[in-house]
Amino acid sequence: MSSPARSKKPASASAAFAAARDAYAALGVDVEAALATLAATPISLHCWQGDDVGGFEKADATLSGGGIQATGNYPGKARTLDQLRQDLDLVLKLLPGRHRLHLHAIYADFAGKPVDRDAIEPKHFASWVDWAQDRKLHGLDFNPSNFSHPKSAEATLSHPDKAIRDFWIAHCAASRRIGAHFGKKMGTRTVTNVWIPDGSKDTPFDRAAPRARLADSLDQVFAEKLNAKHHLDAVESKLFGIGAESYTVGSHEFYLGYALKRGDVAYCLDAGHFHPTESLADKISSVLQFAPALLLHVSRGVRWDSDHVVTADDPTRAIFEELVRGGFLGRTAIGLDYFDASINRIAAWVIGTRAAQKSLLSALLEPAAQLRAAEKSGNHALRLALFEESRALPLGPIWDEFCRRHETPAGLGFMTEIAAYEKTVLAKR
């Protein structure tokens, strides 16, 4: 594909970058160190932005149930694995740095021989591993898909019927094996994240029994010991979903307790899964006091939707600030989780990922030493002044320079490429 923005790439850093670097240096910030950390921090892209969480188990598969919804009907949705990969190729090209992909089980490549979810195996994802290796991705992550299935209509791992629970236990256990296989093949640790939609629309009488069943099911899911070098388990909580407004079996307290009890399971915080007045950022340093690792689902909750395209808004920046300030980047896997079908899906992917990276960059560029010193000496006016001063520092030229070094369009250049692709590829689907 032609790359107009790339061919116009300036050969050296701009004067604006040099001035910006000096402005940060005046506050004691090492821009080069920030850029090195940013380059070394992969983001796990969510494969499901390209097809509205439908998957390819069968033709025209669509997301159903589970309290999540992709709204909108923008033309050009990926309808086959090949189309999804073609779209991802463009996304990767428009992102600076080396990234990961997290797959859902419903994105298996059955090559005409489908199996049910309890029988999926690494071989069903072989073409993804080939693709990821070919693209030199940083790694692959995985998610069992406990939704959009006849057996998930009421509940999954917490279902009162043992046969249904066993089906989902088998699915999640099979998913872990696939995750471990990815980790081994890719040479970096795969995170396999369990999220289930179990809950109820109206007030239940018995809140305890489903949770007891879920805990027991999880024990069975995690019974097989996998090599921790290649694989990390995670569990994801939620407050409520559409159609599950009154009760969610896998709540925050439930999974936090579960992950801490086990000690070898990471806890997943999804930015859209809490009450809007709660701060996800504030939870990070609490969780990591005790949990071995954290998985983030970077997302943007808007009222009752937990999955708007990520922007570099204050709550998102605050999340990354916490990771940097606490020295938590090494113990955190960063994944994206949103789906917007109302705008060009590739633009949604790219804008959201770049926003997450930009939020990380802005966190890495905080005048941390001066802020720490001001706080330590009790000079809270200076701390406030530094916060305000850093808001107005020139982030843009630093970001543009990062893009330039990674041969990725700076500024709005990526939108030109997406518009061209929409015309030549998406419009013809």
Looking up tokens 């996800």, which residue turns up?
280
380 is catalytic: no
141 neighbors 182 (Cβ within 8 angstroms): yes
Tokens matching residue 150: 């006849």
Provide the pairing of β-strand 247-248 with 300-302. unpaired
307 or 322: whose CB is closer to Zn ion? 307
What does 53 bind: ligand RNT, Zn ion, none (CB cut-off 5 to 8 Å by kind)?
A: ligand RNT
Decide: helix, strand or coil at residue 129: helix
Give the residue with the Cβ less far from Zn ion, 97 or 301.
301
Under the binding rule (CB under 6 A), the answer on residue 355 touching ligand RNT is: no
Q: Residues 128, 168, 195, 349: which is the catalytic one?
A: 195
The site string for ligand RNT over 200-239 (x = CB under 6 A, - otherwise) reads ------------------------------------x-x-
Q: Please indicate whether residue 307 is annotated as part of the active site.
A: yes
Q: Which of 355, 354, 345, 358 is nearest to 418 (CA)?
A: 345
The minimum distance between CB 46 and Zn ion, in angstroms, equals 8
| Closer residue to Zn ion (CB): 195 or 222 | 195
282 assigned to active site: no
Active site residue 138: no
- Print the binding letters for residues 236-265 with ligand RNT: x by CB under 6 A, - otherwise: x-x---------------------------
What number of chain residues touch ligand RNT (CB under 6 A)?
Answer: 11
> CA 373 to CA 383: how far, in whole Å?
9
Compute the half-sphere exposure of residue 428: CA atoms within 13 Å on the CB side of its CA.
Answer: 6
Take residue 73 and report the two structure tokens written for it: 């009907």
Binding site for Zn ion (CB under 5 A): 270, 297, 337
Residue 143 binds ligand RNT (CB under 6 A): yes
Q: Is residue 283 annotated as part of the catalytic site, yes or no?
A: no
Active-site choice (149, 297, 308, 358)? 297
Distance CA 233, CA 176 (A): 8
Q: Which does 143 bind (CB under 5 to 8 A by kind): ligand RNT, Zn ion, none?
A: ligand RNT
Residue 133 neighbours by CB under 8 Å, 6+ apart: 185, 186
Q: Which is nearer to Zn ion, 297 or 354 (CB)?
A: 297
Residue nearest to ligand RNT (CB): 195
Give the span between the Cα atoms of 158 and 150, in whole angstroms: 15
Find the helix or strand (DSSP H, E) in which 268 lies: strand 265-270
195 classed as catalytic: yes
Does residue 253 have an active-site annotation? Answer: no
Binding track, positions 263-302, relative to ligand RNT; x by CB under 6 A: -------x--------------------------x-----
Instruction: Tally Cβ neighbours within 10 Å of residue 230.
Output: 19
Instruction: Report the b/e string of 201-222 with b at 16+ CB within 10 A.
Output: eeeeeeeeebbebbbebbeebb
Site for ligand RNT in 324-343 (CB under 6 A): 337
- How many Cα neighbours within 13 Å face the side chain of 421? 24
Place of tokens 């896997």: 333
CB of 297 to Zn ion, least distance (A): 4
Binding site for ligand RNT (CB under 6 A): 48, 53, 68, 143, 195, 236, 238, 270, 297, 306, 337
Any idea which residues carry the catalytic annotation? 195, 236, 238, 270, 273, 297, 305, 307, 337
